[in-house]
Structure 1
Amino acid sequence: MNQFLNITKKAAAVVLGLACFAQVAHADALADIKARKKVLVAIDLGAPPFGMTSAKLEPQGSDVETARALAKDLGVELEIVQVTGPNRIPFLMTGKADMVIASFSITPERAKVVTFTNPYGASQFVVAAAKGENIKSLNDLVGKRVAVVRGNMQDSLLTPLAPKGATIVRFDDDATVTAAIVSGQVDAFCTPNSLAAAVSKQNPAKGIETKFVIKDIPYAIGIRQNEPELQKWLNGWIATNLKNGRLANIYQQWVGSPMPDLAQFAPK
């Protein structure tokens, strides 16, 4: 009897495994998007100049324009799913979005749960503060309160490098980090250089400036794992629009500087 039960359990496990394999093998987000005639793109609208809203509360920014161009070429309607840095992956994994286009930096940790396309841009992460702050290097952060987005790239980069005596203050998104630096709640913030420039432009009286560079990090479109057809289409689209200059023009228009050379991130 026990032998029979063991055989039955093993058979059930094999069937379950085959069912899971079949589900993965037949997963085709690209076909689903085309059938739905709509692509759900997760974008952080609180991270200028990548994602933000106009005076008329309309989405705009480099990631927004990238998503619009992608949807047009895919021949479907674009639906923007508004996210923050910390909830980009949960929204993707629970099916609330088909893909993430939100200055989504490529990291080994994220690559364990999502699939990244080839890079379509890069962010230069910096520490920025008001002109009056005497900050030139990591050592100058001793005694300073430095804002980051909790669990986001700037947190991952700065936290292990911060000297003893520096206080890392974590906020939920870029909007609250910006509010903290503008209100004087913190002394400095770690952020993409483009966002530091946007904060400086929007608040000229504060004299926000880049103090020093931490690292250049490429970003890409994030999708769920086991979606080879969607990944293939997206990589082809990125390659075409990098070659023809379309993505570089979008970056230049919104960030205000040339796109970093993505060749530096090519596999060696």
Structure 2
Amino acid sequence: MKFFKMAKKALMVSFTAVLLAGMMAGCGDEKKETSTGSGQIQDIQKIKERGVLRVGVKNAAKGFGFQDPSSGEYTGMEIDLANKLAKQLGVKTEFTAVTAATRTGLLDSGDIDCVIATFTITPERKKSWDFTTPYYTDHVGVLVQKSSNIQTLADLKDKTVGVATGSTSAKALVEAMIKAKLIPADSYDAKNFDPSTWKTGVQFKQYNDHPAISAALSAGEVAAHCVDKSILAIYHTPDRTFIKEEFAPQDYGIVTRKGSDLSKVTEDFVQACLKDGTIKELEKKYGI
């Protein structure tokens, strides 16, 4: 009986040792996978296996990304860049219309591989996503109804301005008005700025997209539509005009998930397009 108890104990010790070794080996594999960021570095492999590069683009920004309501066809500088990038990867292109409010969520979730959609590069955003060298620089502008007689930044004092949710337009406008000494600088905290609560000198109403802001401008819900001038171009109808000032240079880059192996490919791609004149040709083609 004593012999059998000792044998049973030895067997249990041996089994426990094997189990612990297996657990340690599993942890080691998990650590190795995490350290290499395999979920990110294999993006290009997934794209090639899928045969499609999924790109977030604008569908209402003429010259950059515009979808014809009748044919559904996309045209614009950023559409051409997306197609050229896909061709370089040896795959087809699949477009998803995005807004300032939806683009990062779709990118983070993996529903799209990159964003080429008048996406402004900022230091804060670069902490969360990878941006390429800028392929285009625009400025923020303000569009108003001619009948409003709003002509300058000063005329926007105490008015309500329409902006897109998730955009930097409201912040850019406030900073421009502070620089013009229309708003006291001590009322502004860049880190904690929130368009939904800002009431000093000007106030904002946020919308999901720019067609909604344009409709609100026509209805008199807002006195002005503020965003990059490239986006405002499609809403610049004969009964509307830009205010005198433009401000806040906006550098656009291709955006990928942080640490993705697609990030270097897109950076090299933009650098090549800048160097070989592709960007200049597209600017001329689309009149931007």
TM range (shorter): 0.7 to 0.9
CA contact (8 A) 1:41 1:67 kept: yes
What amino acid does structure 1 have at the position aligned with 2:266?
A: L
Correspondence 1:53 to 2:67: yes
What amino acid does structure 2 have at the position aligned with 1:207?
A: R
Q: Deviations over 1:141-189 (max 9, x none)?
A: 1231211111212133224555424221111112212222233322112
Gaps of 5+ in 1: 1-6, 258-268
> In the TM superposition, what are the counterparts of 1:197-216 in structure 2 within 5 Å?
197-200=233-236, 203-204=237-238, 206-216=239-249
Equivalent of 1:184 in 220, 226, 230: 220
SS at match of 1:152: coil
Once structures 1 and 2 are overlaid, which stretch shifts more, 98-107 or 147-156? 147-156
Q: Aligned equivalents of 2:73 and 2:93: distance in 1?
A: 14
SS at match of 1:90: helix
SS at match of 2:263: helix
Aligned match of 1:239: 271
Pair 1:26–1:73, CA change in 2 (3 A): closer
Aligned match of 1:252: 284
SS at match of 1:41: strand
Correspondence 1:146 to 2:141: no
When the two chains are superposed, the root-mean-square deviation of aligned CA atoms in Å is 2.6
Correspondence 1:32 to 2:68: no
CA contact (8 A) 2:151 2:243 kept: no
Pair 1:146–1:38, CA change in 2 (3 A): same
Equivalent of 2:110 in 87, 95, 100: 95
Q: Aligned equivalents of 2:91 and 2:30: distance in 1?
A: 35
* CA-CA distance at 1:78 after TM superposition: 0.2
Correspondence 1:220 to 2:253: yes
Q: Aligned equivalents of 2:207 and 2:122: distance in 1?
A: 20
CA contact (8 A) 1:196 1:209 kept: no
CA contact (8 A) 1:147 1:190 kept: yes
CA contact (8 A) 2:115 2:254 kept: yes
Aligned match of 2:231: 195
Pair 1:39–1:184, CA change in 2 (3 A): same
Q: Aligned equivalents of 1:189 and 1:87: distance in 2?
A: 20
* CA-CA distance at 1:49 after TM superposition: 3.4
Aligned match of 1:230: 262
CA contact (8 A) 2:143 2:224 kept: yes
Equivalent of 1:113 in 91, 108, 128: 128
CA contact (8 A) 1:49 1:198 kept: no
What amino acid does structure 2 have at the position aligned with 1:186?
A: V
Q: Aligned equivalents of 1:180 and 1:152: distance in 2?
A: 17
Q: Aligned equivalents of 1:152 and 1:48: distance in 2?
A: 18
TM-score, with length taken from structure 2: 0.76
CA contact (8 A) 2:162 2:207 kept: yes
SS at match of 1:110: helix
Q: Deviations over 1:225-265 (max 9, x none)?
A: 112x42222222112211222122222332x24xxxxxxxx
Q: Aligned equivalents of 1:26 and 1:83: distance in 2?
A: 22
Q: Deviations over 1:71-128 (max 9, x none)?
A: 1232210000222111111100100001011011101221111111111112211122
CA contact (8 A) 1:135 1:211 kept: no
